[in-house]
Amino acid sequence: MTRYGFLGLGIMGKAMAANLLAGGLEVTVWNRTTEKCAPLAALGARIGNSPAEVVADCDITFAMVSDPAAAAALFFGEGGVLEGIVPGKAYVDISTVDPTTSLEIARAVNAEGGRFLEAPVSGSKKPAEDGTLVFLCSGDESLFHEAKPALDLMGKKSFYFDKPGQGAEMKLVINMIMGTMMTAFAEGLTLGDKAGLGMADILDVLTQGAIDNPMFRLKGPQMASGNFTPAFPLKHMQKDMRLALELGDKFGQPLFTAAAANNLYLKSRQAGNGDEDFSTVFQAIAGN
């Protein structure tokens, strides 16, 4: 039976690891804050003492951390993933990082005889809980197929892209579009509200037209009621917007609307809203 590791038990990781356990898989977990392992231990998970130990004990190890710096520290740091990589070990990074960081980790895994797959996800807290995430993968194709049963427990669809780094690039493109959509949505709600149009009416009209979408249906009522409980923290969206802009620089592609949206997320972070849901950018736009 394949033994799985899972590193990083935040908003997303906890739910994803729980779905692996619910699927009957053998899972060893680790988190920087050990207390976060307890709910998963209650579901049958083993607890590892370090990332290196988890990787050494498992066949395939998943990692879900917040940003490129955290991903690099988890991998290259003392007691980190790299220390546990030997021939035959497999590492799947499902964090959202820049392509450069992903490629650096891939080279280090391959140099030790291991296999690497980048598999960032499209989705937030609820899809993670429901097992309906979308995985955007590139790297070792044999590992993609080998990890597919676990990916299927955590998500509804997995894509594979031939070129290393393209999983990370796809995730940044998707989040850039989503982040820009949210700022336009928030501006529309704010303008309508100031014009005396009820937000509930605006949302109802939106559901009847071509721009109806799950994000507007979910986030709109929450924004109107002032509920910004984090499903995807704003600080992470701003990080992804920044990385997307860097990707634009790499390919010489101007990103006018994304740059403007990024400034709004920066404004909201500076107002102390980084840990709230990314929809809290609405408050920065409305001047609240």
Instruction: Show me where the domains of the chain are located.
Output: 3-164, 169-286
CATH 1.10.3720.10 fits 3-164, yes or no: no
Q: Cα-flanking dihedrals φ and ψ of residue 2, to 5°? A: -65, 135
Superfamily of the domain at 169-286: N-(1-d-carboxylethyl)-l-norvaline Dehydrogenase; domain 2 (1.10.1040.10)
266 three-class SS: helix
Residue type, position 19, single letter = N
Flag whether pLDDT at 288 surpasses 80.
no
pLDDT digits (tens, 9 = 90+) for 182-236: 999 999 999 999 999 999 999 999 999 999 999 999 999 999 999 999 999 999 9
Give pLDDT, residue 154: 98
For the chain, how many residues are written? 288
- Residues annotated as part of the active site: 171
17 three-class SS: helix
Which residues, at least 6 apart from 131, have a Cβ–Cβ distance to it below 8 Å?
A: 19, 153, 154, 155, 156
pLDDT digits (tens, 9 = 90+) for 60-119: 999 999 999 999 999 999 999 999 999 999 999 999 999 999 999 999 999 999 999 999
Which residues, at least 6 apart from 229, have a Cβ–Cβ distance to it below 8 Å?
A: 222, 276, 277
Residue whose entry in the numeric block shows the structure tokens 């607890």: 47
Q: How many Cβ atoms sit within 10 Å of the Cβ of residue 130?
A: 14
